[in-house]
Copies of this chain bind each other. A is one copy, B any other.
């Protein structure tokens, strides 16, 4: 693991997710660029001292041939150099989103992935939820007819005040363009919303018109994004991402409307999916319940009514990626149900989304292609 030392939120999440299905063992880490902190974190995580590093490049070289896969859980600007170091060492990579802090870095990383022949997974973790996979499967199977409208939103409220001024670690790097990239809320959560919309609808956004705002005085990145979307094939959408939405925690929500049906899913109550049907009463599909397909079943651990949540969805990404690694190692074809893990292509689309939205907003919400 690279990053994920003390005070880090997402590092601990990755570790729990990796652990849940018992397919990973944490054996080495460059948990912090501060050697003392890296060492202290390693001790706490039962990493042997000689496999604890303060520099990810040294770690990559030292661990080449010993490590199956590395998790990159640093701030955004470190993703590309860290990932490339491990790819060069022939080590598969799981990387947090968004892919990188700049488009240039993203493309360099994409080239590196291609060159390495290694597997690259991007933790757009919301794609791991069973009911999200169910939704995708239903759309693909035509259960909604042709898609017309996609509404996605991701409101949070934790940056409604100038939290970065307090030095709070999560707020600080996320509002620093040098570490986070050009997108604030856009990059941190807007990319999740964008990815989810494309993942479930099976459609690609062609152009967008964005109105980005920084409501908190002095903030250097956007904290609120209003975006209109046009998909290839004629569907349209709206995307709302905000970190100043007081009263919202992590309220990612997706609705897809087709000619004959619709689906609605809310991340905070992730176990159900409402299926609106032209001329029929809506069905409430639930994880583990009747009427679900293979994609949801694959991502399910517990019977219905025993809530699975964020970590389980995140773990699905890790488990599916493990199967890919193992299949590669064993020279066999991976179970097709494990191939939904977002990768470098989705990472590049996320970067293009950020770039187009920033450019559009600078052009007074003119339409920009991705």
List chain A positions with a Cβ less than 8 A from chain B: 9, 12-13, 15-16, 19-22, 45-46, 144, 148-149, 151, 153, 155-158, 160-161, 209, 211, 213, 215, 224, 226, 228, 230, 236-238, 240, 242, 244-251, 257-262, 264, 267-271, 274-286, 288-291, 301-312, 364-365, 367
Q: Is the CB of B308 within 8 A of A310?
A: yes
A-B contact sample (8 more), CB < 8 A, given A211-B230, A226-B236, A245-B257: A269-B269, A277-B290, A280-B290, A281-B290, A283-B283, A306-B310, A308-B309, A365-B365
Choose among B149, B289, B308 the residue that contacts A224 (Cβ–Cβ < 8 A): B149
Give the chain B neighbours of A262 by CB distance below 8 A: 157, 245-248
CB distance from A255 to the nearest CB of B (A): 8
A244 to B181, CA, bound (A): 38
A249 to B292, CA, bound (A): 15
Q: Is the CB of A211 within 8 A of B228?
A: yes
Give the chain B neighbours of A157 by CB distance below 8 A: 262, 276, 278
Q: Is the CB of B367 within 8 A of A250?
A: no
A301 to B17, CA, bound (A): 12
CB distance from A149 to the nearest CB of B (A): 6
A16 and chain B: residue at smallest CB distance: B20
Give the chain B neighbours of A151 by CB distance below 8 A: 153, 240
CB distance from A219 to the nearest CB of B (A): 12
Known: A156-B305, A160-B259, A278-B160. A249 touches B290 (CB 8 A): no
Q: Is the CB of A279 within 8 A of B290?
A: yes
Choose among B211, B249, B260, B312 the residue that contacts A309 (Cβ–Cβ < 8 A): B312
Known: A148-B224, A246-B262. A281 touches B276 (CB 8 A): no
CB distance from A250 to the nearest CB of B (A): 3
A279 to B13, CA, bound (A): 24
Known: A209-B228, A230-B211, A276-B157. A249 touches B148 (CB 8 A): no
Can you identify 29 A-B contacts, CB atoms within 8 angstroms? Answer: A13-B302, A13-B306, A19-B20, A20-B20, A22-B46, A160-B278, A161-B278, A209-B211, A209-B228, A211-B230, A246-B258, A246-B262, A246-B277, A246-B278, A247-B275, A247-B276, A249-B289, A270-B307, A275-B281, A277-B290, A279-B290, A280-B290, A281-B285, A301-B311, A302-B310, A306-B310, A308-B311, A309-B312, A311-B311
A153 to B240, CA, bound (A): 12
Known: A257-B247, A307-B268. A242 touches B279 (CB 8 A): no
Choose among B45, B282, B302 the residue that contacts A283 (Cβ–Cβ < 8 A): B282
A289 to B286, CA, bound (A): 22
A230 to B19, CA, bound (A): 44
Most buried by B among A247, A248, A365: A247
A284 and chain B: residue at smallest CB distance: B282
Most buried by B among A22, A160, A289: A160
A144 to B213, CA, bound (A): 19
Give the chain B neighbours of A211 by CB distance below 8 A: 209, 228, 230, 236
CB distance from A156 to the nearest CB of B (A): 7
A227 and chain B: residue at smallest CB distance: B228
Q: Is the CB of A246 within 8 A of B226?
A: no
